[in-house]
Amino acid sequence: MKIERVELRELEVDLKFRFETSFGVERDLRKVVLVLHSEGLEGYGEVTAGTVPGYSYETSATAWTALSDYILPAVVGRDFATPTQLLAAVARVRGHNMAVAALETAFWDLQAKAAGIPLWQLLGGSHTEIEVGASLGIQGSVAETVAIAEKHLAEGYRRLKFKIKPGWEVEPLTAVREALPDASLTVDANSAYALNDIAVFQRLDELALDYIEQPLAHDDLVDHAELQSQLSTAICLDESIHSAADARKGLALGSGRVINLKLGRVRGHLESRRVHDVAMAFNAPVWCGGMLELGIGRAHNLHLSTLENFTLPGDTASATRYWGDDDIIEQRLDAVAGLQSVPHDGPGLGVTLRRDLLERLSVRQLTI
């Protein structure tokens, strides 16, 4: 398909809640979305980068520059038969996976629309309903942590994940476990600890957590392997996995036993499929991570989550948890009793853009 034109927009949106993690607080967000035009069809992609470089070096601003200066000029006006060909055209862009993924995922949407089939089918998925959990930011007190946990469990979320940071983990999680003895609970450190914090993880190891997400440095598979060897709770890798090669190294070393798969972090659907397959070969389950996405990104996540080795609840919670009137699609992607259905209003991504809202939220706009 020939990419005739690309529309790039940066949007200003307000998260409904203050989201605190070990790397900072997020609330007023910048989001970059793009629309590919080809043969009368539109393909939608969303940059999942944060507004600040806390989780990753990429931000909405770096993605804007990477897309407008390097990535889009390499593909506009050219014809691509497959995502592999498209990725080859931008192979010289090292890193900037979240920027590339916005393009790559939009191209998959285009191809599914051209074929007249839903995206999940083109991706080779099989699940029809997606189990979801909720990722809960650091709260002001232990009592508030227990209260927000109970609220989300009552809403039907199948797994609760708590953000932790040094000094904020054993006490709140012990209290939540006491209040909710049978709930599926996890923690996410976003790389805030080092191997000499082992005592903290030994305490968490007694709380029957499903897994401990990215406890150590974003680029340290060796220390994760050492920590994993000393814990019975599984480690789940997030920040450390940028490719199927990383997944192979991490699983072969025993750095973790579960992978949080994020489209943006690994460059799109094609590499996600490869990470998924590598994990399956190691008998390691994957689940779909979240990056506080708007409707385009959430829809891509749900289609991805239909692949067979997505066997743990994802972070693709209800859109209504995050957004008031700021979501940019017509469909409300909300879970019912902890289950999301896969968007299906038409072929491809199965969602429609709220063009008027897009116009109102745009702070930058470019057509190439």
Q: Would you please indicate which residues are annotated as catalytic (active-site) residues?
A: 163, 262
Shorter beta-carbon distance to ligand OSB: residue 71 or 291: 291
Task: Identify the DSSP state of 310.
Answer: B
CB of 271 to ligand OSB, least distance (A): 18
Task: Identify the DSSP state of 169.
Answer: S
With CB under 5 to 8 Å by kind, the binding choice for 317 among ligand OSB, Mg ion, none is ligand OSB
Q: Which range of residues in 108-116, 125-133, 233-241, 313-321 is near Mg ion by CB under 5 A?
A: 233-241
Shorter beta-carbon distance to Mg ion: residue 238 or 271: 238
With CB under 5 to 8 Å by kind, the binding choice for 290 among ligand OSB, Mg ion, none is ligand OSB
CB of 69 to Mg ion, least distance (A): 29
With CB under 5 to 8 Å by kind, the binding choice for 291 among Mg ion, ligand OSB, none is ligand OSB
CB of 74 to Mg ion, least distance (A): 31
Shorter beta-carbon distance to ligand OSB: residue 55 or 108: 55
The residue number with the shortest CB distance to Mg ion is 238
Shorter beta-carbon distance to ligand OSB: residue 1 or 302: 302
Residue 149 neighbours by CB distance under 10 Å: 25
- Burial label for 363, CB within 10 Å (0-12, 13-18, 19+), is exposed
Q: What's the angle, vertex CA 12, arms to CA 304 and CA 321, rounded to 5? A: 50
Would the CA dihedral through 165, 166, 168, 169 be positive or negative?
positive
Q: What is the DSSP string of 14-83?
A: EEEEEEEETTEEEEEEEEEEEEEEETTEEEEEE---BSSTTSSS-BHHHHHHIIIIIIGGGTTT-B-SSH
Phi-psi region of 283 (alpha: psi -120 to 50; beta: other; left: phi over 0): left
349 close to 119: Cβ distance less than 8 angstroms: yes
Contacts of 229 (CB under 8 A, 6+ apart): 254
CB of 245 to ligand OSB, least distance (A): 21
Q: Which of 58, 104, 238, 326 binds Mg ion (CB under 5 A)?
A: 238
The closest alpha carbon to 318, from 309, 331, 303, 308, belongs to: 331
Residues 175-214 that bind Mg ion (CB under 5 A): 188, 213
Task: Enumerate binding residues for ligand OSB (CB under 6 A).
Answer: 50, 55, 135, 188, 190, 238, 289-292, 315, 317
CB of 322 to ligand OSB, least distance (A): 7
H or E element at residue 9: strand 5-21
> Is 46 near Mg ion (CB under 5 A)?
no
Residue with tokens 């000499």: 196
With CB under 5 to 8 Å by kind, the binding choice for 46 among ligand OSB, Mg ion, none is none
With CB under 5 to 8 Å by kind, the binding choice for 315 among Mg ion, ligand OSB, none is ligand OSB
Shorter beta-carbon distance to ligand OSB: residue 104 or 238: 238
Residue 162 in tokens = 């708590």
